[in-house]
Amino acid sequence: MTTLDAAPEPIRIDIRRTAVVMIDMQRDFIEPGGFGESLGNDVSLLRRAIAPCQALLSAARAAGMLVIHTREGHRPDLLDAPKAKIERGAPSVRIGAKGPMGRILIRGEPGHDIIPELYPQAGEPVIDKPGKGAFYATELGPMLHHRGIENLIVCGVTTEVCVHTTVREANDRGYRCIVPGDCCASYFPEFHETALRMVQAQGGIFGWVSDSARVLAALE
């Protein structure tokens, strides 16, 4: 067991029962010309999470931890995309429309892929998810169950959307969730800060908030 410094209080975790979940570090959200930019966002704001995620991933891999990556996106025929999700926005920039990195948020297109800086290593599972949460309509739950995972270190983008939704889903399923704040980012810095405060408020209502330096110290 190791103690990880976090808020609202330090947490004791068994590293062998802890997985890192890297949420949606995809070109569509982080690079110009993708889904994020099509919604009018300044995608450069998400880049601040890349270096901390790289450091955390190296430490997790060195410690032999399970590392799971997720990608938000849909089938090319959009049959897994709710009408209410795809009909939002101008038709030329909607999910499925053609953009500079291929069809927006569509599996197999260049924009759907994970950024080169955080590319999964051979053998690391990649979960394709149609929703914001990583548990909805995916194999993540059984995968964690079969590996005996009890704790999740949840990183990625964006803090208040897919990271938060996943943490909420995981918390209700009984997982202890630790969110290293500098390994997450949002197009809205104030939402990022508030989302982190929401996780740790009320005695850690959704989980614990820490940072990459403290995770690395716990993994040493």
Please report, as residue ranges, which positions from 116 to 135 form the binding site for ligand C5J (by CB under 6 A): 132
Q: Is the peptide bond before 110 cis (omega within 30 degrees of 0)?
A: no
Q: How many residues bind ligand C5J (CB under 6 A)?
A: 8
Amino acid at 60: A
Both tokens of residue 58?
Answer: 């190296």
24 binds ligand C5J (CB under 6 A): yes
Site for ligand C5J in 175-194 (CB under 6 A): none
Q: Is 162 in the site for ligand C5J (CB under 6 A)?
A: yes
Site membership for ligand C5J, residue 158 (CB under 6 A):
yes
User: How many other C-beta atoms lie within 10 A of the C-beta of residue 39?
Assistant: 14
Q: For residue 180, which of 49, 64, 87 has the smallest C-alpha distance? A: 49
One of 157, 199, 218, 219 touching ligand C5J (CB under 6 A): 157
From the list 13-21, 83-91, 118-126, 157-165, the region that binds ligand C5J by CB under 6 A is: 157-165
| Cα–Cα nearest to 181, from 197, 166, 165, 202 | 197
Least spacing, CB of residue 160 vs ligand C5J, in Å: 8
| Contact in structure between 206 and 177 (CB atoms under 8 Å) | yes
End-to-end CA distance of the chain: 12
Contact 72, 133 (CB under 8 A): no
Interaction between residue 113 and ligand C5J (CB under 6 A): no
Q: Does 109 bind ligand C5J (CB under 6 A)?
A: no
Residue 161 within binding range of ligand C5J, rule CB under 6 A: yes
The pair phi, psi for residue 177, each rounded to 5°, is -110, 130
Minimum gap (Å) between residue 92 Cβ and ligand C5J:
18
Would you say 131 or 204 has its CB closer to ligand C5J?
Answer: 131
Binding site for ligand C5J (CB under 6 A): 24, 29, 72, 132, 157-158, 161-162
